Amino acid sequence: MGTSTQALSGRATDTQAAADFDRRNLDWYVDKLIAVIVFVCGISAILFVLGIFFFVTKEGIGFVFEKMDFREFFLTPYWSPSDAEDPEYGILALMAGTASVTGLAMLVAVPFSLGAAIFIAEFASGKTREALKVLVELLAAIPSVVWGFIGLVIMNPLLIKWFDIPVGLCVLNAGIILGLMAAPIMTSIAEDALKAVPDRYREAAEAMGATRWQVIYKVVLPAAKNGLLGGVLLGVGRGFGETMAVLMATGHAVNIPGSIFDSVRALTATIAAELGEAVVGGEHYQVLFTIGIFLFLVTFIINLSADLIVRGIRKG
């Protein structure tokens, strides 16, 4: 160690250092300031959610308190807001429209996305797996207005030709479109849930001589149950809240559907289609905001339950 003669430092003496311990320098204040800024941005998400609820309620509350008859609103299917004499605001048919389309979409999307997730997570490997994951991610990125357009100009004529029906804008059309839309998201959430199952579970089962499918069916799926359910719930929330695609693919007719070939109208699409014509502050306008409150609350509950269910696995 020929270098030991190099002194370690010419730094402050002990007394100066001791003074430093008390002096709050610029860095100290910058740090405090950033902590405050970052905190404010952190809680902004909460503020925005509260803000959404507040402003949507603010615009719609007038109707809820003054005119709204809960029984009529939720339990009658008559929706004729632009009737000058006696406008009717029953959202039952709209709810039926939303429910039928979302239900059919889940029927399409849940088995296929679960199957795809199992394939990607448990069977595919290497390049195939990577390619499929990228593809699924890209599919999830297609904007909803493009999906609506596809329903309108591609699915519509196809359905008319295949099923010999007069109009192809119906529950089936919107259901398929919504299903294809929700599937990539549900696939990637389900795949995450399957991947979250520790490999030692699989190894233990395989060591006992179980086949790959037995391992998946008996071990992996039960262990990933909550994550999968959470994924399905998020898919339901997605379908329930989807606007442009259902606006363009359902046919937009107020109707309680009797078959999958009936046209329907969804809650979200109603707002999108009618808000432009409604007079600001008028009754129709307030009713549309009231539907907004309803949509907000339902999706809030769906998201909350999905979150609680998914967190269930992390804790357990």
* Residue ranges in 124-143 that form contacts with other proteins under rule CB under 8 A: 124, 132, 134-139, 141-143
Residue 80, strand partner residues: 88
The least distance separating other proteins from the CB of residue 75, rounded to whole angstroms, comes to 22
Closest CA to 266 of 283, 253, 284: 253
Q: What's the CA gap between 246 and 96, in Å, rounded?
A: 13
Closest to other proteins by CB, 122 vs 262, is 122
Binding flag, residue 4, other proteins (CB under 8 A): yes
Taking only Cα atoms into account, the Rg of the chain, rounded to an integer number of angstroms, comes to 28
Among residues 203, 213, 222, 282, the one that binds other proteins under rule CB under 8 A = 213
Q: What's the CA gap between 61 and 293, in Å, rounded?
A: 9
Size of residue set near other proteins by CB under 8 A: 106
Among residues 83, 163, 203, 211, the one that binds other proteins under rule CB under 8 A = 211
Residue 178, strand partner residues: none
* Residue ranges in 167-206 that form contacts with other proteins under rule CB under 8 A: 180, 183, 187
What is the residue type of 249? A
Closest to other proteins by CB, 6 vs 85, is 6
Among residues 97, 227, 235, 241, the one that binds other proteins under rule CB under 8 A = 241
Closest to other proteins by CB, 9 vs 258, is 9
Closest to other proteins by CB, 256 vs 275, is 275
Binding flag, residue 74, other proteins (CB under 8 A): no
* Residue ranges in 293-312 that form contacts with other proteins under rule CB under 8 A: 295-296, 299-300, 302-304, 306-307
* Cα distances (Å, whole numbers) of residue 167 to 46, 102, 161, 246: 44, 20, 10, 15
Structure tokens at 190: 């389900």
Q: What's the CA gap between 296 and 307, in Å, rounded?
A: 16
Binding flag, residue 279, other proteins (CB under 8 A): no
Binding flag, residue 237, other proteins (CB under 8 A): yes
